[in-house]
């Protein structure tokens, strides 16, 4: 009986180990992607998403991009106070610590789409590519919302 239990523990350890190896090759996953609809004649808008780095090592988000027929360019933006005014500015990278969800959200980090070729209307989608410091990338179909 005792031997049987030890065998069971060994099997469990084996399963845990293979689970570990799988997460070493883990990917960046995401939730809640959306792009804000364009208002009036604006040719820029912002996109938001929560990214989770499932890899065992920390990486950075180093670039965002869209197809040239969607917008002239995409940038990674943050906000900071300049005097009394909250201003957006481009950031070179965003840390994605292993296992920690990082939110791009209104008032914080966001994907800035500039020089849009046509207005973005709800129920459509924008394909955004997120490029990471380890050479991998993630393509996300981001729904346009009000």
Contact residues: Cu ion, CB under 5 A: 77, 88, 112
Task: For the CB of residue 7, give the shortest distance to Cu ion in the complex, in Å.
Answer: 58
Q: How far is the CB of 20 from Cu ion (least distance, A)?
A: 39
DSSP class of 68: T
Listed in order, strand segments (DSSP E) in the chain are 28-36, 44-53, 59-66, 71-82, 85-90, 94-96, 101-104, 110-116, 125-132, 137-145
88 versus 94: smaller Cβ distance to Cu ion: 88
d(C-alpha 121, C-alpha 103), whole Å: 23
Q: Which helix (H) or strand (E) holds 17?
A: helix 2-24
End-to-end CA gap in the chain = 63
> What is the DSSP code (8-state) at residue 102?
E
Residue number of the CB closest to Cu ion reads 77
Q: In angstroms, what is the minimal distance from the CB of 88 to Cu ion?
A: 4
CB-nearer residue toward Cu ion: 59 or 112: 112
Minimum gap (Å) between residue 94 Cβ and Cu ion: 13
Residue 44 or 133 having the CB closest to Cu ion: 44
Cβ at position 75, least distance to Cu ion in Å: 7
State how far the Cα of 66 lies from the Cα of 36, in Å rounded to an integer: 15
Q: Which of 36/77 has CB closer to Cu ion?
A: 77
Cβ nearer to Cu ion, comparing 55 with 128: 128
């Amino acid at each position: 009986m005792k031997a049987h239990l030890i065998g069971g523990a060994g099997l469990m350890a084996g399963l845990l180990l293979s689970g570990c190896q799988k997460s070493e090759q883990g990917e960046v996953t995401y939730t809640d992607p959306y792009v804000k609809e364009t208002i009036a004649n604006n040719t820029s808008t912002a996109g938001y998403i929560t990214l989770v780095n499932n890899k065992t090592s920390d990486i950075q988000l180093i670039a965002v991009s869209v197809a040239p027929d969607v917008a002239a360019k995409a940038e990674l933006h943050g906000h900071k106070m300049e005097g009394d005014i909250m201003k957006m500015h481009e950031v070179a990278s965003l840390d994605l610590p292993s296992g920690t969800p990082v939110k791009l959200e209104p008032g914080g980090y966001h994907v800035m789409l500039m020089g849009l070729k046509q207005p973005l209307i709800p129920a459509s989608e924008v394909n955004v590519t997120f490029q990471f410091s380890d050479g991998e990338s993630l393509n996300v179909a981001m729904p346009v919302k009000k």
